[in-house]
Structure 1
Amino acid sequence: MGDKSIDQKVDYYTDGSESGLSEEYWVDWFLRAKGNEYFCEVDEDFITDRFNLTGLSTEVSHLQYAAELITDALDLDSFQDPVRQEIDADAKHLYGLIHARYILTPRGLTKMMEKYKLAHFGKCPRVNCYFNPLLPVGLYDVAGQSSVKLYCTKCEDLYIPKSTRHANIDGAYFGTSFPAMILQAFPQLLPTKTNERHVPTIFGFKMHEHAKWARWQDKQRQEMNKRIQQYNKEQQNIQQLKAQPNNSTPSVQSQQSQTKSQSQQSQSRSPSAQPQVEAA
């Protein structure tokens, strides 16, 4: 009987019902709910730190109550049904907004890195990526603009989650900076890039138009690499010139002293020419 009642509780909350009647911790229930597999556990210290809630009062109407509900410091049964539902929805929204900030911290990046290794966010559907794990990313940092997308670190393209539960998650709960931040923190996650692509053939012969298009793409890629190399060389030259300001200063000063001496000589010659004219 006891195990059955526990299962009923979990199913009850998984269906999106009110979360104030359970003896389970709110964060544990939220993470176990279907569709929330992309989220990691945010530390309670991070949630209770008022600095991390800066600017969220405009996004969440019941900010204080929602934060207390997340940290299990609020008795939701003491509120009437309309307000209780609002606080419950605000708590879920607040957790998502806090989650976007938490996963940019070292501890949050570590947790998300472990989920990435286990492919909790799915694998790239592109054949030539060979099931490379995906990373969640938002197109906007403001909530309500777009749902979460999945970024492949190999082909560097975006994909829509397969599950409708995941596709309905707000992209602001992960933010636009997360993939670049985690790859910068853990560069070993970067896979080996490949230019491999499918080439359609007819009885083993490449199609002329497609082959022409492939050659054009290769040419554009080579030209882009040349431009990047030239740009890097120019930046290095600029940095070298900036690093040698003191060496060019003496030459400038010597030129100024030479021009000054020449002007003085010309001035000294001009008075001597006037007496000769008067003597004549």
Structure 2
Amino acid sequence: MSSNIRPRDDPLEGDLPYAEGEQIEEDEEEEDDAVNLGAYEDEIYESESPSESGTESLTWISWFCSLPGHEYFAEVGEDFIEDDFNLTGLNALVPFYKEALEMILDVEPPEEDSLKIPDVSIVESSAELLYGLIHQRYILTRHGMQQMIDKYEAGHFGYCPRVFCHSHPVLPCGRSDLPGLDTVKLFCPNCIDNYSPPSSRFHGPEQLGKRVPYTRTYTPKIYGFKVSEHAKTGPRMKWMRMRPTSLDQLDRL
């Protein structure tokens, strides 16, 4: 009976006996591996946090330009907005001008000023109006024109619907420098005519101004004389858009 009983401290068959110190070292290594694994998991969570905070760091200007129907806007630099000279006279056109400017620049207003505002939506509409007026001035600068040129050359604004323009790129513009008087139009430099945007989401009040497309318009001339706009070779062939009301008018065309 006693010969079949194995002592408690005897190793099993095929196992090697080890000292008590070696067992302690193996336990410590397992604990270190567990600690390293936990630190690795913490690094994973930390690496995911910047991507989550990327959406939180989106500026108001980038958010506003990314909205549907605002694709025609260029992103105005904050250094341009922070220059008071570039905003001369706009405080008389925009209600809650100070609060709207702080919203555009992502500046937290003081608590006493926020209590004076009856509704945040009023400041949001004022910020949209103010940004549109600032945008009119910004796209006349070198950096603003470069942004519009890049969009224009890439066909970002669309193409002329006229057949003989052969998909010539167009530029967004307005027929007034005052916002809200008309809807945005698309100007074709080839036929020198304005068109309505194809999508209804661009039919809101225009805030782009009327000066950019007409800053340097080519005027065709022959021996120094301007070509008539009513000529068939002129840039604006209105006769193609007019339907004759009688046979006599059809014969004259």
| Aligned match for 1:181, one of 210, 215, 219 | 215
**Structure 2 length-normalised TM:** 0.63
Q: Give the drift of 1:211.
A: 6.4
Give the total of aligned pairs.
Answer: 184
Is 1:70 aligned to residue 85 of structure 2?
no
Within a 5 Å distance, the mapping from 1:248-263 to structure 2 comes to none
Per the alignment, residue 110 of structure 1 pairs with 146
Offset of residue 117 of structure 1? 0.8
For 1:198-256, what per-residue CA distance to the aligned partner results, in whole angstroms no more than 9, with x for missing partners? 7xxxxxxxxx8576333xxxxxxxxxxxxxxxxxxxxxxxxxxxxxxxxxxxxxxxxxx
CA apart distance, 1:82: 3.9
2:104 partner letter:
I
Change (3 A) 1:38 1:182: farther
Residue pairs, 1:134-213, within 5 angstroms: 134-168=170-204, 170-171=205-206, 173-181=207-215, 212-213=251-252
AA matched with 1:72: D
> Whose helix proportion is higher, 1 or 2?
1
User: 2:17 corresponds to which residue?
Assistant: none
Q: Distance in 2 between matches of 1:57 and 1:63?
A: 6
Structure 1 pair 125–76 and aligned structure 2 pair: CA distance change class (3 A): farther
Aligned to 1:227: none
The alignment partner of 2:215 has SS state of: helix
List runs of 5+ in structure 2 lacking aligned partners. Answer: 1-47, 219-233, 241-246
Distance 1:36 1:82 in 2: 27
SS of 1:111's equivalent in the other structure is helix
Partner residue of 1:95? 131
1:180 is paired with a residue whose SS is: coil
**CA RMSD between the two structures:** 3.4
CA distance in 2, matches of 1:28, 1:119: 20
SS of equivalent to 1:181: coil
Distance 1:98 1:179 in 2: 17
- Structure 2 counterpart of 1:49, one-letter code: D
Question: 2:129 and 2:214 mapped to 1: Cα distance?
Answer: 24
TM-score by length of 1: 0.57
Question: Per the alignment, in what secondary structure is the counterpart of residue 179 of structure 1?
Answer: coil
Q: What is the SS of the residue equivalent to 1:151?
A: strand
Aligned to 1:122: 158
Query: SS state of the match for residue 178, structure 1?
Result: coil
**In structure 1, how many angstroms separate the alpha carbons of the residues matched to 2:101 and 2:123?**
9
Change (3 A) 1:120 1:79: same
The structure-2 alpha-carbon separation of the partners of 1:183 and 1:111, relative to structure 1 and needing over 3 Å to count, comes to farther
Alpha-carbon distance in 2 for matches of 1:39, 1:182 = 21
Q: Distance in 2 between matches of 1:180 and 1:158?
A: 12
% identity of equivalent residues? 38
Q: Which residue matches 1:55?
A: 89
Mark the runs of 5 or more structure 1 residues left unpaired by the alignment: 11-21, 185-191, 199-207, 215-280
**Contact kept in structure 1, 2:192 and 2:235, CA below 8 Å:** no
Asked if the contact 1:104/1:181 (under 8 Å) is kept, the reply is no
Tell me if the contact between 2:193 and 2:236 (Cα under 8 Å) persists in the aligned partners: no
Q: Secondary structure at the match of 2:91?
A: coil
C-alpha change, 1:162 and 1:43, in structure 2 (3 Å) is same
Q: Tell me, what secondary structure is at the counterpart of 1:61? A: coil
1:76–1:29 CA distance, 2 compared to 1 (3 A): farther
Give the match for residue 276 of structure 1: none
8 Å contact from structure 1 (residues 137, 174) kept in 2: yes
Could you tell me how far apart the structure 2 residues matched to 1:96 and 1:72 are? Answer: 17
- Structure 1 residues 82, 120: CA separation in 2 closer, same or farther (over 3 Å shift)? farther
Give the distance between the partners of 2:87 and 2:118, measured in 1 at CA: 25
1:37-86 residue CA offsets vs partner (Å, 9 max, x unmatched) = 00001111111111111111121111111111111112599846843111
Q: Structure 1: how far apart are the matches of 2:127 and 2:110?
A: 11
Select 2:77's aligned residue among 34, 43, 54: 43
**Superimposed CA distance per residue, residues 83-137 of structure 1 (whole angstroms, 9 cap, x where no aligned partner):** 3111111111111000001111111111101111112211111111111111111
Q: Distance in 1 between matches of 2:201 and 2:250?
A: 41
CA radius of gyration, larger in: 2
